[in-house]
């Protein structure tokens, strides 16, 4: 069943357009604007160009989704298969199924919302031309990662996003941006070198780099030892990008230093590239190798869940001088741990839960980073102790709509039933209760119990954040310094005119509402109607785990 009937050739064109258009848009952004399009402000013209290009890509992605045959989500659709490097057997092979389509739509949506937000709130830094060009290159690489079906093309697309993200952090970021950018690039590049060796090993030993053919073969052309080595090598590169504990330490620094839209894209789409690689490459192509490492992957995943939550609790406590952006970054380590746990179960339930949690995390954490960026813009700081002064943030009284949306995003992140965050975590825990044949049930049920404990820790730190930031502290007014009473330095603009009397903050602006409302609405929609995602992913996952057989 398709929403609208679109011919295969048009579907091919749409997918190719979605991948290539941002790259062409990036080149056009660097060129001088035609006289009729310059307007009065060249900077606004290039920002408008970014909104236009990302908007066109989003529309094309939506049309592609409406033309997608939802009765056959396990079948690759909109495929293009052209020989590129015959000597190596590398082909330009594109296609989408029920696994990649939601990620494609999420990437197109988040990039458009970031471009729209930047049109009104451009981060301080060099030329807007370079900023828009980097965002578009980042979008092209991410979309290509979810659309290509050749191992070497996957690697090229996987690496394509590193340089633009490096410059977005290093040139438009905040404090310690250069150190954070270097840490990001070094970690991910070192992981990628090891991953390339694993991809080459699979391609050379099997005689093809085609991901569809390899998935159909289901590892039968590879010895167990080759699969084990390949999973170890590729898994390290994917785990760095995910990020999996203990390879996560680049993430909090990168998020803390990145501009708001950089954090949204990093959490919303870049982290998904690692987990997508586990599902698309390692599960179907090297199942024996995955079965060998699955218990270790699950163990690292649940350690990450607990570690990320404990780090957030430490940052959230009174007097810790914790940074709110850093806290949300550490929460991502925990949430992505649930995704890795679902993948490690190697069951349809667990993998579907992992894919659902991927999308939910992109929506919810993207919204959280937007909100934290807005709070930091209003206060000039993301320090929790400053924000939680007696008249500090107290967002319910000073900017009620902003406070309500922050509380909504927080309870969505902790997995409240009825919102998107609930289903992914629940399904991964169900998958861990009954893992695939050959995996230790006692071990995975232990992992399930630890993961369930992690959900309680998540609820604890998120509710502490809501209480402190949205309600303020209850410290007696007489014990506060002038800075504490206002929630900002005494000489800062906009401080209360009378000691201790809270001044109003700017509540949600129109452009902020436009950028944030789709994320909140989709979080509710996916929570109330999970079949909208599971109906796409489940047949594709069943086929993937069955070795290409429906």
pLDDT tens string 404-447: 999 999 999 988 898 998 999 999 999 999 998 888 899 999 99
In the prediction, which pLDDT does 456 show?
A: 92
In the prediction, which pLDDT does 253 show?
A: 87
Coil, helix or strand at residue 238:
helix
Say if CB 392 and CB 483 are below 8 A apart.
no
Where does the pLDDT of residue 483 fall: very low under 50, low under 70, confident under 90, or very high at 90 and above?
Answer: very low
CB atoms within 10 A of CB 379: 19
Question: Rounded to two decimals, what is the model's pTM?
Answer: 0.89
Coil, helix or strand at residue 414:
coil
Alpha-carbon gap, residue 477 to 487, rounded angstroms: 12
Alpha-carbon gap, residue 185 to 39, rounded angstroms: 37
Say if CB 340 and CB 354 are below 8 A apart.
yes
Q: Which residues contact 409 (CB under 8 A, 6 or more apart)?
A: 364, 367, 368, 371, 520, 523
Does an H or E element contain 107, and which? helix 100-120
Alpha-carbon gap, residue 170 to 148, rounded angstroms: 29
pLDDT tens string 354-407: 999 999 999 999 999 999 998 888 888 888 888 776 445 577 777 888 889 999
In the prediction, which pLDDT does 319 show?
A: 76
In the prediction, which pLDDT does 550 show?
A: 45
DSSP 500: T
Q: Which residue has the higher pLDDT, 397 or 75?
A: 75
Q: Report the pLDDT averaged over residues 8-36.
A: 86
Asked if the model's pLDDT at residue 195 lies above 70, the reply is yes
In the prediction, which pLDDT does 548 show?
A: 52
In the prediction, which pLDDT does 488 show?
A: 46
Say if CB 324 and CB 472 are below 8 A apart.
no
Q: Helix, strand, coil proportions of the chain in percent (round to 5)? A: 70, 5, 25
Give the sign of the dihedral formed by CA 421, CA 76, CA 349, CA 242.
negative
In the prediction, which pLDDT does 244 show?
A: 87
Alpha-carbon gap, residue 339 to 275, rounded angstroms: 7
- φ, ψ of residue 468 in degrees (nearest 5): -75, -45
Residue 202, both tokens: 């699979």
Asked if the model's pLDDT at residue 497 lies above 60, the reply is no
């Amino acid at each position: 069943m398709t929403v609208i009937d679109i011919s295969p050739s048009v579907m091919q064109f749409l997918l190719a357009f979605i991948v290539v258009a941002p790259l062409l848009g990036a080149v056009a952004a660097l060129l001088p604007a035609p006289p009729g399009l310059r307007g009065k402000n060249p900077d606004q013209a290039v920002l408008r160009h970014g909104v236009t290009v990302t908007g066109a890509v989003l529309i094309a992605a939506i049309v592609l989704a409406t033309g997608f045959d939802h009765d056959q989500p396990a079948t690759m659709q909109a495929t293009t298969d052209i020989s590129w490097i015959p000597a190596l057997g590398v082909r330009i092979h594109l296609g989408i199924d029920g696994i990649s389509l939601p990620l494609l739509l999420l990437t197109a949506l988040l990039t458009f919302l970031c471009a729209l937000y930047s049109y009104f709130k451009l981060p301080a830094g060099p030329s807007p031309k370079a900023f828009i060009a980097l965002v578009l290159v980042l979008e092209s690489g991410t979309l290509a990662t979810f659309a290509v079906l050749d191992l070497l093309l996957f690697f090229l697309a996987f690496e394509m996003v590193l340089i633009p993200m490096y410059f977005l952090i290093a040139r438009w970021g905040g404090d310690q941006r250069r150190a954070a950018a270097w840490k990001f690039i070094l970690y991910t590049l070192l992981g990628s070198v090891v991953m390339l060796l694993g991809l080459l090993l699979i391609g050379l030993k099997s005689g093809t780099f085609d991901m569809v053919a390899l998935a159909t073969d289901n590892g039968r052309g590879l010895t167990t030892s080759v699969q084990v080595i390949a999973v170890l090598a590729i898994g390290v590169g994917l785990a760095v990008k995910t990020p999996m504990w203990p390879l996560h330490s680049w993430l909090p620094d990168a998020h803390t230093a990145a501009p708001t839209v950089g954090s949204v894209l990093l959490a919303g789409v870049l982290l998904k590239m690692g987990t997508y690689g586990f599902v698309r490459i390692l599960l179907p192509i090297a199942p024996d190798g995955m079965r060998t490492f699955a218990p270790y992957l699950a163990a690292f995943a649940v350690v990450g869940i607990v570690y990320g939550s404990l780090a957030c609790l430490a940052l959230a406590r009174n007097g810790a001088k914790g940074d709110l952006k850093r806290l949300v970054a550490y929460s991502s380590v925990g949430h992505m741990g649930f995704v890795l746990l679902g993948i490690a179960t190697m069951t349809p339930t667990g993998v579907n839960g992992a894919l659902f949690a991927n999308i939910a995390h992109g929506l919810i954490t993207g919204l959280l980073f937007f909100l934290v960026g807005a709070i930091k813009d209003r206060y000039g700081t993301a320090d929790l102790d400053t924000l939680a002064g007696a008249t500090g943030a107290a967002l319910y009284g000073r900017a009620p709509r902003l406070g309500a949306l922050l509380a909504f995003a927080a309870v969505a992140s902790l997995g409240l039933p009825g919102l998107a965050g609930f289903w992914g975590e629940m399904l991964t825990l169900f998958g861990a209760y009954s893992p695939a044949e050959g995996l230790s049930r006692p071990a995975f049920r232990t992992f399930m119990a630890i993961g369930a404990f992690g959900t309680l820790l998540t609820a604890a730190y998120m509710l502490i954040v809501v209480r402190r930031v949205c309600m303020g502290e209850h410290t007696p007014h007489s014990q506060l310094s002038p800075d504490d009473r206002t929630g900002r330095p005494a000489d800062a603009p906009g401080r209360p005119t009378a000691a201790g009397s809270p001044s109003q903050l700017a509540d949600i602006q129109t452009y902020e509402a436009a950028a944030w409302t789709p994320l909140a609405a989709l979080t509710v929609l996916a929570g109330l109607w999970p079949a909208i995602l599971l109906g796409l992913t489940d047949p594709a996952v069943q086929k993937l785990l069955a070795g290409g057989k429906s």
